Amino acid sequence: MRVLVVDDRLDNRYLLVSLFKGHGFQVDEARHGDEALAKARNLPPDLVVSDLLMPVMDGYSLLRQWRADDQLKAIPFVVYTATYTQEKDRKLALELGADAFVVKPTDPDDFMAQMRHILGQAQAGTLKPPALSPDTEPSYKLYSEVLVRKLESTSIELQARIEELTQSQEHIQRLNRLYASLSETNQAIVHITDPDELFHRVCRIAVECGGFSLAWIGLLDKARGDIRLKASFGEGASWFAGEQPFYTNDALRLPVQFAVSDEQIFLCNDLANCSPLDAYRELLDKANFRSAASLPLRLKGELIGAITLFAAQKGFFDDALEALVKEIAGDLSYALDNFAKEQERRESEERLKASEAANRLNARALEASANGVMICDIETNKYPIRHVNPAFERITGYSGVEVLGRDPGFLLGKDLDQPGMVELRSAIKDRRETGVVLRNYQKDGSLFWNELTMAPVVDDTGTVTHFVGVINDITERKRYEAQLERQYNEDALTGLASRNLLRDRVNQAIAFAAHQHKKIALLFIDLDGFKRINDSLGHLVGDAILCAIAERVRATTSDMDTCAHLSADEFAVLLTDLVRPQRALAVANDLLLAINQPLTAAGRQFDMTASIGISLYPEDCRDYDSLIGNADTAMHHAKEAGRNTVRFYAASMNAEALHRLNLDSRLRRAIDQNELLLHYQPLVRVSTGRVTDAEALIRWRGSDGKFISPVDFIPLAEETGLIIPIGEWVLRTACAQTQAWTQEIGVVLRIAVNLSARQFRAKDLVKTVVQVLADTGLPASQLKLEITESALMEDAAKAASILLELKRLGVTVSIDDFGTGYSSLAYLRQFPIDQLKIDRAFVQDVTRHADSAVIAKSVVELASQLRLETVGEGVETQEQQAFLQSVGCDLIQGYLFSRPLPAEEFAALLRAQMQPIASV
Ligand code: C2E
Ligand code: CA
Ligand code: CA
């Protein structure tokens, strides 16, 4: 069905168009009657909905011409109006042949029902024009009334436009005058070099060109705490010349005082109603002052006075004029700054000349010095170099010509944040001598350590005029110190921290942790069976293995952690800032995994494992020696427990950690011993009643045959990182099984696999998915990944980019447990997702709480508008199913239809579903 919406206002059209489109209509739009006729003749609609008041051709004319057009006249015409709502309007519209007259706004559902009714009648050929009451006046009379009303409103509009135009003409004149005075002021600034003369000229320009009655400039006299007249021009200027000193005349002074004491612009467009000036009303009236402005003048940002302007018109300053006078005041301040700078430059030139003589005397000594020397001038915040000696050129690599006039700060390169700089800056500010060590950079960018002495130079009057800097290049000394430090801190073979550095770091960490009430953990790592390799294959091979392991240890931990090589096959890792000991366990498990990756050295493959002991501060001990001793003891327990495993130092092991650890090591084995399996729960498509999707849910049958719930072990696996291999196993198994079903049973099923937050963030996720799809042959369109809302929110920007990559692969993305988090659907919309799973808790409430039902309904509706599929999860009763069906949920999952099933049982269910189709 095609609808033509005619309305001159875009927002009105938008509402109607969305409403019709939402109900599956095709919609054309026109802005007035003329356009509507043209469009309809080109492509006749099934229905037209038109506004009445429109430019070019109004709705009445459109309606008349519509009914007169043989091609269009049978098409139903609905008038939809907000302006013409009187009974007469309705009569006229119906008289002219409208099929309905609807007044805006109207309830969308009622409106659509009415439209469908009219369309239905039109199709059936039973559309009758609505009945008119017998007393209807003739249509020409009604129409002329409408025209009169239209004319009336147009003439009011025109009247308003004319008034507007007159006002703006006056305003333009005023603006023009001020532009002229701005330009004159700038001319004056360029040409005049004496401030007093400039002040006078500016006042004169304001009056002669700018249309002000009086302009005057006053400067602050700090000693008297008062404002002194500097220049004035215009009416009433004679007041200033009177025998009374000007500053006793409050009427003139007040605006300035506002400007000066508040450091803000004073602006008054109606002096007659400015109560602080009440006492001077007579004076102001006599002078015919109606508006006033006073603008602060500044020198180097500091307030020094104000320029004040009086005008004879009330309401003189509008926004544009205010901006212009501000500009004039700003230009004036700028000119004052320049005067001051020029003055300073002249003075410093003179000073330099005076000191040149002295310089010449010292020059010889300077040239001969082995230390670099530079002499710097003192300007505001800058210290331009005036002289350097040959040693400076040698040390820095810059020639004198290159550096003269530059601030010596350039020697710091980009390395600005140095501890010595704080002291240096403060010494320069206080004009005192100082010595600091800085990292400086030569012309070619290479670093040199500069032991710098800066001393002020005083002239005859005792003022500091220059600074002398003596540069001592101590790079060699620093290098030697660094080498010593490295030998002390770094393990020569692996580059990891030495035992010494570890001790320092542990002591620091303990001091810090004690203060912050944080925990720290020390992991003691001992390679299993290393001695045998070293003895049988020699030190070279042994060293290569140690270096490779060191690299893995480093890569597995973060920059914040300290990794140390203690001796031959012993390593240690210090973890600071721990909130819970579980993180230590997670890192230890990661280390075991990393160490256990196949390793090649000297052309041979090795399968290394390690045993790790963990001790904790403050639980186990309070100093370095006992911390490392206890970690060592725990490591031996790990060895006894069969190697390739982790143990906490026993004293700190609370029951909870033990339980987790136990669970953790059992879970580790579960993977190898095939104790993990998948169950599959069908999802039924509401529209067809068929199983089109399934969710893979992990099951763990322990060695004792008992099932352990994923709710108990998935969070642990997530914490320890085991979720990564387990998750990959789930993905692979589920994809392979689904592909097998396609081939064996012929059912193209979409399989949903749950991703935990850590899996979702793992950097290899997309790569793993691509690999698994390639290995199993499952098309990407048959894989759906379920991610919880909270996993998305952890880092929204990153999540969005991962989702985009998955989307590009063609994989479906579903938001699991929707409704439990805090994000709104509108927010989720920014992510490229395909499906929402309404959380079980919600589904269970829909038949119990009216609120939940309303929320669930609106979620499904909004989701469908965003083109997201919806799944109702945990459906256990007929009532829940009926409700979800009624609100338009796409898929249903829950015990009502089926529990999660072992693969064979699920296959049987699929086959059963195939039966009726096969027999057709
Ligand atoms: P989930 O993703 O929300 O999975 C749905 C859970 O609801 C499943 O519990 C399922 O058995 C249960 N369920 C389905 N229909 C009904 C029903 O009508 N009534 C009730 N009361 N429950 C129903 P299960 O299998 O115990 O899984 C629990 C959670 O463990 C899952 O919640 C999911 O977060 C996690 N999980 C399961 N398998 C995996 C997996 O392979 N990887 C990851 N990362 N997490 C998984
Ligand atoms: Ca799920
Ligand atoms: Ca769920």
Q: Is the CB of 816 under 6 A from ligand 1?
A: yes
Kindly state the tokens that stand for 378: 């003192």
Contact of 776 with 739, CB cutoff 8 Å:
yes
**What distances in angstroms separate CA 139 from CA 25, 93, 95, 142, 736, one per listed residue?**
34, 9, 7, 5, 77
Would the CB of 34 count as within 6 Å of ligand 1? no
Question: Distance from the CA of 660 to the center of ligand 1, in angstroms?
Answer: 21
Under a CB-based contact definition with an 8 Å cutoff, are residues 700 and 667 in contact?
A: yes
Expressed in angstroms, the distance from the first to the final Cα of the chain is 35
pLDDT band of 792, cuts 50, 70, 90:
confident
Q: Which one of 695, 697, 818 would you pick to mutate in the ligand 1 pocket, going by the greatest count of ligand atoms within 8 A of its CB?
A: 697
Phi-psi region of 85 (alpha: psi -120 to 50; beta: other; left: phi over 0): alpha
| Ramachandran region, residue 774 (left: φ > 0; alpha: ψ -120 to 50; beta: rest) | alpha
Neighbours of 257 (CB within 10 A): 17
Q: Which residues contact 617 (CB under 8 A, 6 or more apart)?
A: 509, 510, 513, 519, 520, 521, 522, 627
Give the whole-number percent of the chain exceeding pLDDT 90: 39
pLDDT band at 225 (very low <50, low <70, confident <90, very high): low
Q: Whose atoms come closest to the Cα of 712: which ligand?
A: 1
**What are the tens digits of pLDDT across the range 815-864?**
998 877 666 676 777 889 999 999 998 899 888 888 888 888 888 988 88
Q: Is the CB of 427 under 6 A from ligand 1?
A: no
State if residue 682 touches ligand 1 by the CB under 6 angstroms criterion: no
Between residues 165 and 697, the one the model is more confident about = 697
pLDDT at 240: 55
Amino acid at 829: R
CB neighbourhood size of 367 (10 A): 11
Confidence at residue 139, expressed as pLDDT on a 0 to 100 scale: 58
- Look at residue 435 and tell me whether its pLDDT is greater than 60: yes
Distances (CA, A) of 666 to 301, 488, 713: 73, 42, 10
Nearest ligand to the CA of 697 is: 1
Mutate to test the pocket of ligand 1, among 695, 738, 754 (most ligand atoms within 8 A of CB): 754
Pairing of strands 812-818, 783-788: parallel
* Tens-digit pLDDT profile for residues 19-32: 999 999 999 999 99
For ligand 1, atom 46, which residue shows the shortest CA distance? 754
Transcribe 157-196 into DSSP letters: HHHHHHHHHHHHHHHHHHHHHHHHHHHHHHHHHHH---HH
| Average pLDDT, rounded, for the chain | 86
Residue pLDDT, tens place only, 315-332: 888 887 888 888 888 888
Q: Is 699 in the pocket of ligand 1 (CB under 6 A)?
A: no
Whose CA is closest to atom 33 on ligand 1? 754
Vertex 20, ends 836 and 861: CA angle to 5°? 20
Q: How far apart are CA 587 and CA 699, in angstroms?
A: 26
Query: What SS3 state is found at 752?
Result: strand
The Å distance, Cα 814 to ligand 3 centre, comes to 10
Written as six digits, the tokens of 56 are: 């070019």
Q: How many residues does the chain have?
A: 920
How far is Cα 345 from Cα 324, in angstroms, rounded to an integer?
Answer: 32
Q: What is the mean predicted confidence (pLDDT) over 557-569?
A: 92
| Alpha carbon of 816 to ligand 3 centroid (Å) | 5
- Tell me the average pLDDT across 888-914: 95
- Using a 6 Å cutoff on CB, does residue 698 contact ligand 1? yes
- Whether the CB-CB separation of 563 and 602 falls below 8 Å is answered with no
Task: Identify the CA nearest to 220 among candidates 283, 159, 289, 294.
Answer: 294
Element (H, E) at 551: helix 539-556
Asked if residues 834 and 752 have their Cβ atoms less than 8 Å apart, the reply is no
Annotate 190-236 with three-state secondary structure: HHCCCHHHHHHHHHHHHHHCCCCCEEEEEEEECCCCEEEEEEEEECC
Mean pLDDT of 362-385: 79
Q: Which atom of ligand 1 is nearest to the CA of 698?
A: 38
Ligand 1 pocket, residue 631 CB under 6 Å: no
User: 205 CA distance to ligand 1 centroid (A)?
Assistant: 84
DSSP state for residue 777 in the 8-state scheme: -
Nearest CA to ligand 1 atom 43: 754
Going by DSSP bridges, is the β-strand pair 2-6/26-30 parallel, antiparallel, or unpaired? parallel
Confidence of residue 920 (pLDDT cuts 50, 70, 90): very low
User: Across 69-170, where does the E strand assignment appear?
Assistant: 77-81, 100-103
Give the position of tokens 């979702």: 760
The confidence score (pLDDT) of residue 242 equals 46
List beta partners, residue 681.
695
Distance (Å) from CA 753 to ligand 1 centroid: 11
Q: Is the CB of 894 under 6 A from ligand 1?
A: yes
Ligand 1 contact via 708 beta carbon (within 6 Å) = no
CB neighbour list of residue 414: distance below 8 Å, 6 or more residues apart: none
CA distances from 209 to 101, 230, 326, 327, 788 (A): 62, 20, 16, 16, 72
Distance CA 185, CA 267 (A): 21
Atom of ligand 1 nearest to the CA of 759: 44
Distance 908 CA to ligand 2 centre (A): 23
Q: In what order do the strands lie in the sheet with 464-473?
A: 385-388, 372-377, 464-473, 447-458, 434-441
Q: Is 311 in the pocket of ligand 1 (CB under 6 A)?
A: no
Query: Does residue 132 surpass a pLDDT of 80?
Result: no
Distance separating alpha carbons of residues 468 and 455, to the nearest angstrom: 5
Q: How far apart are CA 904 and CA 764, in angstroms?
A: 32
Q: Summarize pLDDT for 30-50 with one digit per residue, the tens.
A: 999 999 999 999 999 999 999
- In this prediction, residues 628-638 reach a mean pLDDT of 91
CB 47, CB 4: distance < 8 Å? yes
Distance 747 CA to ligand 1 centre (A): 24
CB 251 within 8 A of CB 268: no
Query: For ligand 1, is residue 502 a contact (CB within 6 Å)?
Result: no
What span, in angstroms and rounded, lies between the C-alpha atoms of 881 and 875?
6
Please state, in angstroms and rounded to a whole number, the distance separating the CA atoms of residues 24 and 268.
Answer: 60
515 pLDDT band (50/70/90 cuts)?
confident
Instruction: Give 580-596 pLDDT, tens digit per residue.
Output: 777 888 899 899 999 99
Q: Whose CA is nearest to atom 8 of ligand 1?
A: 697
Number of H helices, E strands in the chain: 32, 32
Whether pTM > 0.75 for this model: the answer is no
**CA–CA gap between residue 915 and residue 910 (Å, rounded):** 9
The model's pLDDT over 381-397, given as tens digits with 9 standing for 90+, comes to 789 999 888 889 999 99
Q: What is the pLDDT of residue 611?
A: 95
